[in-house]
Amino acid sequence: MNKSLHPLVWWIWAGSLATAVAMTSSIPLAFGVVGAAGFIVRRKAEKAPWAKSFAWSIKVGTWVIVIRVLTGVLIGVPIPGRTLFTLPIIPLPDWMAGIRIGGPVTFERLSSTAHDGILIAAIIGLLGAAASLSSPHRLLRSMPVMVYEFGVTIVIATSILPQFVTSVSRIKEAQRLRGHESRGLASWRRIALPLFEDSLSRSLDLAAAMDSRGYGYSRKRSKYRNDHWTTRDYALCAFALLVFLRPEYLLIIVALSPLVLAP
């Protein structure tokens, strides 16, 4: 059987890609890299609850772009240029001089805010890809023991979060079948109550299970399987760092490199 990559390698890969994207600050490249990372996730991610992180991070990224563009258009310093349309200016008190809400929206202003938003979204997307590709539990395990010591919270959080998502859809469905359509604030309350009860009891169960299996009782902790760094791990890391030499040419190649280098 092929040993899967060391979980840290995926984070190094995603981290260097994200930094390189920020360095080049090029929109086509940002789209290209996220697309390539998405392709890798599709090909390499295991069937596990955390594999959905990428899809979630893309959703979050989209919201970031939308919010960034909206706030950028409404508030801020005017950038001169070709005016697309003009919003009514909302008068502000004197002490807030320099800040303006509304006013003429120029093409330059729109494109610069969209540009920033897309870059941030790309970075979020790349980190989401790393989360999809490596198990949070295994990553935690390869951390030093001192970090592991406060691991109960993290273990619970990483196990409960995917459960949270499935619980929401399960409860929503049950409520719909009771004849309640899920719209508005009232429906949120109907979902939140069973959801919190569910998550709380799960967390308590897990904490009890960890406790009764001796977690945290012994100061030292042995490792069943040391996550050794293989040649392949080193190779992918080295390759990922190579991106900084010539980000504009190497980005996409590095993003797709796991296709060849990962088992």
Partner 1 sequence: MIKFTNVSLIYPNSQQTVIEDLTFIVAEGELVLVMGSTGIGKSSLLRLINGLVPHHTGGILAGDISVNGISTQSVKPGGLAHLIGIVGQNPLNGFVTDTVEEELAFGMETLNLPPDVMRKRVEEILDLLSLAQLRNRSLATLSGGEQQRVAIGSALVMHPKVLVLDEPTSALDPVAAEEVLSILHRLVHDLGLTVIVSEHKLERVIQFADRIIHIQGGGQTQIGTPETIFASSALAPPIIHLARAMNVSEIPLSVRQMRRLTEPIRKHLSEITPDVVHTVDKAKIVVKVDRMSISYGAKEAIADTSLTICAGEIVAVMGRNGAGKSSLLRAIVGATSPSKGAVSIVGKDPFSLHGKERTELVGFIPQEPSDLLYGQSVREECSQADADNHVASGETFALIQTLVPGISQNTHPRDLSEGQRLSLALSVVLSAQPQLLVLDEPTRGLDYTAKVSLISILKEIAHAHDRAVIIATHDVELVAELASRVIFIAEGEIVADGTTMDVLLSSPAFAPQVAKVMSPSPWLTVKDVLTAMRNNP
Q: Which residue has the tokens 């009764």?
A: 212
Point out which span in 20-28, 59-67, 94-102, 167-175 binds partner 1 (CB under 8 A). 167-175
Residue in 85, 95, 150, 224 binding partner 1, rule: CB under 8 A: 224
Contact call for residue 1 and partner 1 (CB under 8 A): yes
Nearer to partner 1, 19 or 175 (CB): 175
Contact call for residue 143 and partner 1 (CB under 8 A): no
Residue 208 CB: number of other CB atoms within 10 A? 10
The 3-state DSSP class for residue 84 equals strand
Contact call for residue 90 and partner 1 (CB under 8 A): no
Quickly list H helices, 45-180: 53-74, 107-133, 136-141, 145-149, 151-177
Q: 255 phi and psi, to 5 degrees? A: -60, -35
Name the residue type at position 127: L
For partner 1, the binding residues in 234-263 under the rule CB under 8 A are none
Residue in 138, 143, 161, 164 binding partner 1, rule: CB under 8 A: 138
Q: Which string of x and - marks every residue 186-215 that binds partner 1 (by CB under 8 A)?
A: ---xxx-xx--xx---x-xxxxxxxxxxxx
First and final CA of the chain: distance in angstroms?
10
> Would the CA dihedral through 64, 68, 71, 76 be positive or negative?
positive
Contacts with partner 1 by CB under 8 A lie at 1, 46-49, 135, 137-138, 155, 159, 170-171, 173-181, 189-191, 193-194, 197-198, 202, 204-218, 220-226
